[in-house]
A and B are shown apart, each in its own frame.
Chain A
Amino acid sequence: MSVSIDLQQPGTPAVDIPESSRMIELRDISKSFGPVKANSGIDLIVERGKIHGIVGENGAGKSTLMSILYGFYSADRGSIEINGKKKNIKNPQDAIAAGIGMVHQHFMLVAPFSVLDNIILGEEKNFILKKTRENARAKINALAEEYEMQVDLDAITGELSVGLQQRVEILKALYREADLLILDEPTGVLTPSEADHLFRILDMLREQGKTIIIITHKLREIMAITDTVSIMRRGKMSPSIWTKDTNPKDLATLMVGRDVVLKVEKKKAKPEGEVLRVENLNVTNALGVQKLKNLSFTIRAGEVLGVAGVAGNGQTELLEILAGMMPAGSGQVLYFDEPLDISKRAKPDQRRKRGIGHIPEDRHRRGLVKPFKTWENTAFGYHNFPRYSKKYGFADQKFMREDATDKMERFDIRPRNINLPAANFSGGNQQKIVCAREIDQAPKLILIGQPTRGVDIGAIEFIHKEIIRMRDEGAAVLLISVELDEILSLSDRVIVLLDGAIVGEREADKTNVNDLGLLMAGIEEKEASNG
């Protein structure tokens, strides 16, 4: 099925907002970066005191649109009306004056500053700070009280958790008396409980009459919190619809322009011989904290073992030890019954030679060399392998390019340009580059960390299918993810990590989000150990 962005699903009426209650009205906004049309002819009306969601894949132009509204970029064309008055927003100062506050995806905070200083930055009334700081302290404390957003004003911002830093950003906007709050991918970096708390805060802000625009590609959040929603695809915006009249499946379809299988279709696994056996793995970090505690598990050929847990409970250490990037403290790892080197002499390329692939958690730092071209990135790590080498150890660049062209075709990596630096691709396409490289070597064991973090729905679907395909071809798969849906839909077995220890193991088809959530939170440990 092909869906045009201009069409609505049958039975979903467009939102009609009377002029008097329009908080914001965008007309015909367009913006190009060179040849790329980031926004073309966008109309959007948001009702005062409501939460509006904008969904869309990575690179659909959502962030660009919001940056225009916040005066960070100037539009090539179009008009902005706020409370029925036409505004010319040339820079963030104009936006702030017009009552717009924005919480950026990457926080705009000065890490070594105190929370107080971060909030007042740019809004200091007097040349000498003393008075401003005193007044601000009282005002912020009142705000924090009103919206249940307590935060230590004297804490160093960079030392706070991501959730608290986000709270500082919201306080910053409220301190500037924003009536319209824009949140760009606010939950991407939050734990589930932090996200829940954020939603409670947003709810409260709405009750106080604030208008909120939330940008996300997580459909569940749209359904949970918004009043109205519109979809962006390739720089264009759909008309707004009432959230209660739609459902995640329809939204997903509109987002990518075709049907998306949210549930991964897979046959029952037929696991065979044991590929990996981990025994009593321990590791302690430089600060003396034990990050892995006596970890033992096995993975067989043709099965996916999911590792669930809140981020920071030892997943990174486990992945890096198995990939040969970090030494273990003690324990043993057997790969096809032969020991793997887990000392500090371990080398990742030795792992690759023995058929262990690795899709790292952090594709920017570990998975790609961002300024390098795609054809180089699709070979890195394997570039010393005979297939990429000519005589006398010279690199076979011609083959590398052909190989990259082929991979881009098969993994549908866009734009199809092997000479483009990896940095210039969207998150989803970058991840596909990493996947294409690792999966294409047909590893016998593949270690996968957060395969779809910051990746759009279309690419998620593709990557999920690839993981299942590898499993069906007999690979052993270790899947680490903080997304429970992902763990549940891909895994055959699930282990749950808490504080570096396995607190429970489940068959994937005999558990659910609630059950795993309780294990992850460390609740009802007794039941977990019985299970």
Chain B
Amino acid sequence: MDKQAEGENGMIDFLYFFINPALLKSTLVLSTPILFACLAGLFSERAGIVDIGLEGKLLLAAFGSAAFAAYTGNAWLGMFMGVFVSILFSMLHGFSAITLHGNQLISGVAVNFLAVGLTGFLGKAWFHQGGNTPALSGNSRFTAIDLPFAESIGKIPFIGAFYEDVLSGNAIWVYVALLCVPLTAFIVYKTRFGLRLLAVGEEPSAVDTAGISVPKLRYKALLISGILVGLGGVYLSNGMLAGFGPKMSAERGYMALAALIFAKWRPWQSLWSCMLFGYFAAFAIRYGSYDFPVIGRVPSQFMDALPYILTIIVLGGFIGKAIAPKAVGEPYSKEH
């Protein structure tokens, strides 16, 4: 083998190190709950409601769905319970933020505190497994789905391999999350509801004087937000893993907010920025104890911290200037 070919091989190995099916698949898996939460945040923040409670709702929905799936033995019933719990807390946040004109950060933080306390307390009281719910299996679990023709398409190089080894073989919620991206883009940019949603987050008084109820519109946005983040929680405890563990949301709700800022509150960009967070998390898991050339082994704690470091970089405004919806975080009242 001549030198040039050797160099090319080295190049391919190098690329393979960063882009390989196993790494991409776990990127997809790890970014799914973040993507759900991020799109949830998009609906609520575009409507003018800051939702720092995404983190708590992820955890609550994860607990609700795993607990109820374990109790009923039915994954779908578990899903409904998870989403219901998430909507419930979304409405609670909405009642404080919209109806009572409360401070949105504070009620969001309250949701987060409640989530950790409630899930830990109820988990221990009900299941006596140190806060864990029983492992889900059989009908109580969402299993991986093979996409149609995965094997035959898989024979096409690159794209086929991507289809078979990365896209195919995930739980249903991964596909739902991916479908939610174009759906969100369509709703936000092409529909009457979307136009009003964008307007109410920028200039609620313009919406009010146009004869549309600001509170109703904001509650609707929070309802959608609650459903989406609820599905993220469902996937977390039933799909990505097979059971609930204490604090399993692991700050993904905050990462979602960082990803949302990075995406400048836009749907497609949300997909890419969530994938970036997922990629960092996957990279940390895959190469947590890997001997890198030259630098050697990187402490696994550092690798685990990668997504959080990315969060700090994004939130610190190192990546361009992100202009939030103008009215975000401000309660709306006519009596100015």
Do residues B210 and A108 form an inter-chain contact, with CB atoms below 8 A? yes
A110 to B212, CA, bound (A): 14
**Nearest A residue to B211 by beta-carbon distance?**
A93
A127-B191, A128-B191 known; A111-B211 Cβ under 8 A: no
Do residues B334 and A122 form an inter-chain contact, with CB atoms below 8 A? no
A33 within 8 A of B: yes
What 0/1 pattern do residues 116 to 128 of A give for CB contact below 8 A with B? 0110111110111
Do residues A117 and B209 form an inter-chain contact, with CB atoms below 8 A? no
A109 within 8 A of B: yes
A522 within 8 A of B: no
Q: Which residues of the partner chain B approach A112 to less than 8 Å between Cβ atoms?
A: 198, 202
- What distance in Å separates the Cβ of A311 from its nearest Cβ neighbour in chain B? 24
Q: Which residues of the partner chain B approach A91 to less than 8 Å between Cβ atoms?
A: 211, 213
Q: Within residues 405 to 451 of chain A, which ones have a CB less than 8 A from any CB in chain B?
A: none
Chain B count of residues within 8 A CB distance of the other chain: 23
Please pick, from A110, A124, A132, the residue contacting B206 in the complex, using a CB distance under 8 A: A110
Do residues B199 and A110 form an inter-chain contact, with CB atoms below 8 A? yes
A108 to B202, CA, bound (A): 11
Please count the residue pairs between chain A and chain B whose beta carbons lie under 8 angstroms apart in the complex.
Answer: 73
Provide the main secondary structure of the chain B interface.
helix
Q: Which residues of the partner chain A approach B335 to less than 8 Å between Cβ atoms?
A: 33
Do residues A110 and B198 form an inter-chain contact, with CB atoms below 8 A? yes
B185 within 8 A of A: no
A106 to B202, CA, bound (A): 15
Q: Within residues 123 to 147 of chain A, which ones have a CB less than 8 A from any CB in chain B?
A: 123-124, 126-130, 132
Do residues A108 and B195 form an inter-chain contact, with CB atoms below 8 A? no
What 0/1 pattern do residues 180 to 222 of B give for CB contact below 8 A with A? 0000000000111111101100110111111111000000000
Chain A count of residues within 8 A CB distance of the other chain: 31
A106 to B206, CA, bound (A): 10
Do residues A113 and B199 form an inter-chain contact, with CB atoms below 8 A? yes
Q: Which residues of the partner chain B approach A199 to less than 8 Å between Cβ atoms?
A: none
A92 within 8 A of B: yes
A96 within 8 A of B: yes
**Nearest B residue to A126 by beta-carbon distance?**
B192
Do residues A102 and B195 form an inter-chain contact, with CB atoms below 8 A? no
A126 to B195, CA, bound (A): 12
A72 within 8 A of B: yes
Q: Within residues 83 to 112 of chain A, which ones have a CB less than 8 A from any CB in chain B?
A: 91-93, 95-96, 102, 104, 106, 108-112
Residue of A102, A122, A130 contacting most chain B CB atoms (<10 Å): A122
**Nearest A residue to B326 by beta-carbon distance?**
A111
A120 to B213, CA, bound (A): 16
Please pick, from A72, A102, A111, A122, the residue contacting B202 in the complex, using a CB distance under 8 A: A111
A335 within 8 A of B: no
Q: Which residues of the partner chain A approach B205 to less than 8 Å between Cβ atoms?
A: 106, 108
Please pick, from B196, B203, B213, the residue contacting A109 in the complex, using a CB distance under 8 A: B203
Q: Which residues of the partner chain A approach B212 to less than 8 Å between Cβ atoms?
A: 93, 121-122
Q: Which residues of the partner chain A approach B199 to less than 8 Å between Cβ atoms?
A: 110, 113, 121
- What distance in Å separates the Cβ of B209 from its nearest Cβ neighbour in chain A? 4
Q: What 7 A-B pairs have minimum CB-CB distances, sorted nearest first?
A: A122-B210, A93-B211, A108-B206, A124-B192, A92-B211, A108-B209, A110-B203
Can you report 26 residue pairs joining A to B where beta carbons are below 8 Å apart?
A: A72-B334, A91-B211, A92-B208, A92-B211, A93-B211, A95-B211, A96-B210, A96-B211, A102-B209, A104-B209, A106-B205, A108-B203, A108-B205, A110-B199, A111-B202, A111-B203, A118-B206, A120-B195, A121-B195, A121-B199, A121-B212, A122-B210, A122-B212, A127-B193, A129-B190, A129-B191
